[in-house]
């Protein structure tokens, strides 16, 4: 299948290596990275400096950093079309320069306001708290005369480039040849870097260099302060008694908090003059106040390899009372133990986390090979990458370090100012809860840590005693701020937090944990929700006033559907918790939950908010969240959910964030009566947003701010990883963990022949599942002691239900330890949306580029809510392989049909439903109704034809924006249809 390769994106080849021009193709089809399934590694084959998409992110749950393309250096982005032009920047609320950021968990500042805000007047009641950086500590810089090797190395000087990240080991590696400009000597250079998974306070780096000729130069151990954003210097220096340098910083506004970074080296070898040690000077040493380096003279010999090691200790006193000593001791012990020991234990630690069963596996269980399908290969890589990038940003339960949640960009980015949103609880946590509950608890522990502040927020705003109001964004404190209001905004955050706590309880069966905080939060959110719902005597329903749903294009409106349904559900859950604890239930809560103002149009499409009309565009998943994850079923039928799915798919903005289409994929698989749009939505939830070479998510399908509505995408976008991490278990297997019993409802799109679901837990029991096209096997094993879970069903069978919550037609099963049960898949995709259609869900290819997310497969998936759209309005085609079905042309080379063919040509398409601006602006035209597209019906002249392939060619578009026309569905009807 053709990739998204606009014609203006290219790579030029020069003698020194592959040189990237102004607009780089970072798509998964770009060819800039190679995947090795055996060790789950990606290797970048193209050197791409000064662009954030090319930087790798490494972390260990406590400390992390983004590392440059040339090596483990600090790097700034450069304007690729005008180096002296406007510098690339992050978006709201900082709008600061894009750099390779580094930080430690929980290292937040305190400042009066941000560059951007939602409600600036709130800052009078409490300041903002944004993520602060720490000095970038991984650099080892080689210099020879005026030439030096750091992140600014020109791509004309780099050849034989390879940069590798293994997701099984968490090791970052670089290898290339560096030939400085106007130099007679070239150097083979390697770097390896680890952020120790075994020792959270330790980072280690090794570098080797082999010259083509004898040469003298220097090697520098650098702590670069340019990543220590929003901090000021505590102290820095060189230790006179050892090969140690140090730098410590305070976050803005918090002089009682200090982060300490200490680096010590082992540069002792035959090529280093250790007595020459001095403070680093030169153009590669920044003038930032917290920058410090130590430089040694080196004398290299032709063809001989010199190896250098550095060991870094990091600690902050908001977690380590003796932080300076902790950093120093960690660094000293690492130096004593050496690289080989650190590397070995690091690999073992990651190996215990990134096991073969920790990710969803698309390989053939019989051969261990991936199918010969590039999209499935991308899904496999993403499955591994999703798990790794989420887990590298959290620590295990019991570590004492796992209470800072996950920000949008994690420990290697200051996108969205490092703030914590609902993204962590609703998008990142669900997939982690299933397979890594001990790590997922970090997300809930953060909410427990800020629970007292949530109670204080509610009290400050005059809400009833016991109410909790979490701030929309949370930094170091969780108070209400200009970026993080507590009232008159996205109240659903509180419900999202509560639902995540409930699901973690269902999955882990950890009652001791649940009744020591989480249950109190749920009670407080229920109290808050009861106060939020206001009785309207005219409609005799309960309303929510002045709120915002997840769709942030519709702010401060009434009766936001997702929020009001969430409020009803949490009131029910609150009463359920009261009942199982023997407490009296709240009759008012029951009355409110049964009588919310859940609004729908005459067409039965759910209205996102009071007064919504047909012109609404939607930023991100909103109404579709009612079906999953909320499982809202109160007077909300399967048919109405399907109406909503199709309607809001047509209303999604192309400039919305990455996680949205993962929810569409899950819901399409649960609701669709026919077709395979779940596969199309799955591709749309992954491929447009993944960025090679490291398969990190971008927030946007298109990163170019000139093409995406001037949105500066968060990167890496862990919310996108979290959404994608839900598709296989919650979508294909159909797991639901929000009920007192486990539900599954499996169905695998026909384009995917098989998938083995990651090992998962429910009620403390350990389960695995394998799906092929027709059936699913689900197995249970003894819960290992390492899981730290108590199996609720240890001495009995585990009950599970085949079907979905709210369905009338379900089947109950039970599963003993060491037992496997086979259940049938739902084969709805075999049903034809258009009776007699010969093309639905068949293999399709296109050699032409297409708009982001507008895949050729969308034209034959049985759903008009998905579309194929060529990149330009010039001639473009798709080819459907109809082998063994019906035949129109006998052979093809992939583009041209040979032998007997039939061509149906239409030169002036007649619009069956032309756009009428006057009608659209009228009262009737503003009614919310199902979307109807234009239909063109053609007949084959001369009777029935047969062939192996059908090709559709389109050219031109009524919209004069240069983009291709959209094709909702290409239908070819068989004889008699």
Catalytic residues: 552
Q: Are 173 and 190 in contact (CB under 8 A)?
A: yes
Q: Are 242 and 328 in contact (CB under 8 A)?
A: no
Q: Are 112 and 128 in contact (CB under 8 A)?
A: yes
Distance of CA 265 to the CA centre of its chain: 36
Could you give the dihedral angle defined by the CA atoms of residues 842, 845, 851 and 853, in that order, rounded to the nearest 10 degrees? 40
- Cβ-Cβ contacts under 8 Å for 960 (sequence gap 6 or more): none
Question: CA-to-CA distance for 430 and 725, rounded, in angstroms?
Answer: 8
Q: Coil, helix or strand for 578? A: helix
Q: What are the phi and psi torsion angles at 485 (to 5°)?
A: -65, 155
Q: Which residues pair with 131 in a beta bridge?
A: 108
Q: Are 645 and 624 in contact (CB under 8 A)?
A: yes
Q: What are the phi and psi torsion angles at 508 (to 5°)?
A: -95, -25
Question: CA-to-CA distance for 480 and 474, rounded, in angstroms?
Answer: 9
CA atoms in the 13 A half-sphere facing the CB of 37: 14
Question: CA-to-CA distance for 661 and 563, rounded, in angstroms?
Answer: 20
Residue that is written with structure tokens 């569905």 in the block: 969
Crossing angle of helices 492-508 and 561-580, rounded to 10°: 40
Structure tokens of 562? 């997702």
Q: Are 48 and 23 in contact (CB under 8 A)?
A: no
Q: Are 310 and 221 in contact (CB under 8 A)?
A: yes
Question: CA-to-CA distance for 623 and 660, rounded, in angstroms?
Answer: 11
Q: Residue 629, preceding bond cis, omega within 30 degrees? A: yes
Three-state DSSP string of 75-100 = CECCCCCCCCCCCCECCCCCCCECEC
Q: 706: buried, middle or exposed (CB in 10 Å: 19+, 13-18, 0-12)?
A: exposed
Could you give the dihedral angle defined by the CA atoms of residues 271, 273, 279 and 281, in that order, rounded to the nearest 10 degrees? -50
Q: Residue 700, preceding bond cis, omega within 30 degrees? A: no
Q: Select from 899, 874, 869, 898 the least CA-distant residue to 965.
A: 869
Q: Are 658 and 689 in contact (CB under 8 A)?
A: yes
Three-state DSSP string of 682-738 = HHHHHCCCEECCCCEECCCCCCCCCCCCCCCCCCCCHHHHHHHCCHHHHHHCCCECC
Question: CA-to-CA distance for 343 and 192, rounded, in angstroms?
Answer: 10
Q: What is the helix (H) or strand (E) element at residue 932, kind and residue range? A: none
Q: Could you please report the per-residue DSSP string of 152-168?
A: T--TTSEEEEEEEEETT
Q: Are 541 and 596 in contact (CB under 8 A)?
A: yes
Number of neighbouring beta carbons within 10 Å of residue 82: 9
Structure tokens of 397? 């339960």
Which of 402-405's residues contact partners 24+ apart within 8 Å by CB, and which partners? Answer: 402/61, 402/439, 402/441, 402/442, 402/445, 403/106, 403/442, 403/445, 403/446, 403/448, 403/449, 404/105, 404/106, 404/442, 404/446, 405/442, 405/443, 405/445, 405/446, 405/447, 405/474
Question: CA-to-CA distance for 386 and 151, rounded, in angstroms?
Answer: 27
């Amino acid at each position: 299948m053709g990739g998204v390769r606009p014609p203006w994106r290219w790579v030029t080849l020069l003698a020194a290596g592959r040189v990237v021009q102004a607009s780089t193709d970072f798509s998964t089809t770009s060819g800039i990275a190679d995947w090795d399934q055996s060790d789950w590694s990606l290797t970048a084959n193209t050197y791409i400096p000064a662009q954030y998409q090319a930087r790798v992110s490494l972390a260990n749950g406590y400390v992390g950093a983004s590392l440059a393309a040339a090596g483990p250096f600090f790097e700034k982005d450069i304007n690729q079309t005008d180096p002296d032009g406007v510098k690339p920047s992050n978006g709201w609320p900082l709008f600061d320069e894009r750099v390779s950021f580094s930080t430690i968990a929980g290292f937040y500042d305190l400042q009066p306001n941000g560059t951007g805000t939602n409600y600036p007047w709130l800052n009078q009641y409490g300041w903002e708290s944004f993520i602060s950086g720490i000095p970038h500590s991984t650099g080892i810089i080689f210099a020879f005369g005026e030439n030096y090797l750091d992140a600014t190395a020109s791509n004309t000087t780099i050849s034989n480039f390879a940069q590798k990240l293994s997701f099984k080991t968490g090791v970052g590696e670089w290898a290339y040849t560096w030939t400085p400009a106007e130099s007679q000597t070239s150097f083979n250079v390697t770097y390896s870097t680890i952020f120790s998974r075994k020792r959270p306070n330790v980072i280690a780096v090794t570098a080797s260099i082999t010259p083509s000729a004898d040469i003298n130069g220097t090697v520098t151990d650098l702590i670069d302060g340019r990543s220590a954003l929003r901090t000021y210097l505590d102290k820095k220096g060189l230790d006179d008694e050892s090969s140690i340098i140090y730098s410590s910083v305070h976050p803005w506004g918090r002089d009682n908090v200090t982060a300490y970074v200490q680096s010590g080296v082992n540069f002792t070898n035959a090529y280093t003059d250790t007595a020459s040690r001095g403070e680093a000077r030169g153009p590669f040493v920044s003038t930032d106040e917290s920058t410090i380096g130590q430089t040694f003279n080196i004398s290299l010999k032709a063809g001989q390899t010199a190896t250098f090691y550095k060991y870094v200790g990091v600690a902050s006193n908001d977690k380590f009372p003796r932080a300076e000593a902790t950093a120093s001791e960690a660094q000293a012990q690492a130096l004593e133990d050496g690289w080989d020991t650190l590397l070995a234990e690091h690999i073992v630690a990651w190996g215990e986390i990134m096991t073969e069963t920790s990710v969803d596996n698309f390989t053939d269980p019989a051969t261990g090979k991936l199918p010969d399908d590039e999209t499935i290969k991308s899904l496999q890589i993403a499955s591994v990458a999703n798990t790794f990038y989420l887990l590298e940003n959290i620590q295990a339960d019991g570590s004492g370090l796992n209470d800072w949640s996950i920000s949008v960009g994690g420990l290697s980015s200051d996108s969205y100012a490092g703030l914590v949103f609902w993204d962590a609880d609703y998008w990142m946590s669900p997939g982690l809860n299933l397979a890594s509950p001990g790590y997922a608890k970090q997300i809930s522990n953060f909410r427990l840590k800020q629970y007292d502040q949530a109670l204080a927020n509610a009290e400050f705003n005059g809400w009833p005693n016991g109410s909790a109001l979490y701030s929309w964004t949370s930094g170091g404190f969780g108070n209400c701020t200009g970026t993080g209001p507590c009232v008159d905004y996205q109240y659903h955050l509180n419900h999202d937090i509560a639902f995540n706590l409930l699901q973690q309880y269902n999955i882990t069966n950890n009652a001791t944990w649940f009744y020591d905080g989480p249950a109190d939060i749920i009670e407080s959110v229920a109290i808050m929700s009861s106060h939020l719902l206001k009785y309207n005597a005219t409609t005799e329903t309960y309303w929510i006033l002045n709120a915002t749903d997840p769709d942030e294009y519709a702010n401060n409106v009434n009766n936001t559907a997702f929020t009001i349904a969430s409020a009803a559900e949490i009131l029910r859950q609150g009463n359920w918790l009261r009942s199982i604890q023997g407490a009296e239930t709240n009759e008012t809560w029951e009355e409110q939950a049964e009588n919310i103002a859940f609004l729908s149009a005459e067409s039965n499409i759910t209205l996102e908010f009071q007064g919504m009309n047909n012109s609404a565009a939607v930023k991100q998943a909103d109404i579709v969240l009612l079906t999953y994850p909320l499982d809202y079923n109160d007077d909300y039928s399967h048919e109405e959910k399907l109406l909503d799915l199709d309607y809001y798919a047509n209303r999604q903005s192309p400039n919305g964030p990455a996680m949205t289409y993962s929810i569409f994929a899950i819901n399409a698989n649960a609701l669709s009566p026919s077709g395979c749009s779940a596969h199309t939505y799955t591709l749309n939830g992954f491929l447009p947003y993944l960025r090679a070479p490291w398969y990190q998510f971008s927030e946007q399908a298109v990163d170019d701010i000139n093409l995406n509505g001037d949105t500066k995408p968060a990167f890496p976008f862990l919310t996108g990883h979290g959404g994608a991490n839900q598709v296989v278990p919650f979508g294909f297997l159909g797991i639901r963990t929000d009920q007192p019993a486990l539900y599954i409802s499996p169905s695998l799109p026909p384009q995917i022949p098989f998938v083995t679901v990651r090992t998962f837990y429910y009620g403390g029991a350990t389960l695995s599942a394998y799906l092929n096209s027709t059936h699913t096997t689900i197995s249970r094993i003894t819960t290992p002691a390492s899981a730290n879970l108590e199996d609720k069903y240890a001495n009995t069978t585990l009950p599970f239900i085949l079907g979905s919550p709210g369905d009338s037609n379900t089947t109950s099963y039970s599963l003993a330890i060491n037992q496997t049960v086979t259940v049938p898949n739902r084969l709805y995709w075999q049903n034809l949306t258009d009776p007699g259609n010969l093309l639905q869900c068949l293999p399709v290819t296109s050699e032409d580029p297409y708009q982001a997310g507008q895949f050729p497969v969308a034209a034959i998936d049985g759903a008009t809510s998905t579309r194929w759209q060529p990149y330009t309005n010039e001639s473009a085609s798709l080819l459907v392989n109809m082998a063994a079905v019906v035949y129109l042309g006998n052979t093809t080379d992939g583009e041209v049909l040979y032998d007997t063919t039939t061509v149906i040509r239409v030169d002036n398409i007649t619009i069956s439903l032309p756009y009428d601006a006057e009608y659209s602006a009228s009262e009737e035209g503003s009614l919310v109704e199902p979307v109807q597209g234009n239909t063109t019906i053609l007949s084959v002249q001369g009777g029935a034809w047969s062939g192996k392939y059908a090709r559709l060619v389109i050219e031109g578009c009524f919209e004069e924006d240069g983009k291709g026309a959209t094709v909702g569905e290409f239908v070819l009807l068989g004889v008699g249809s």
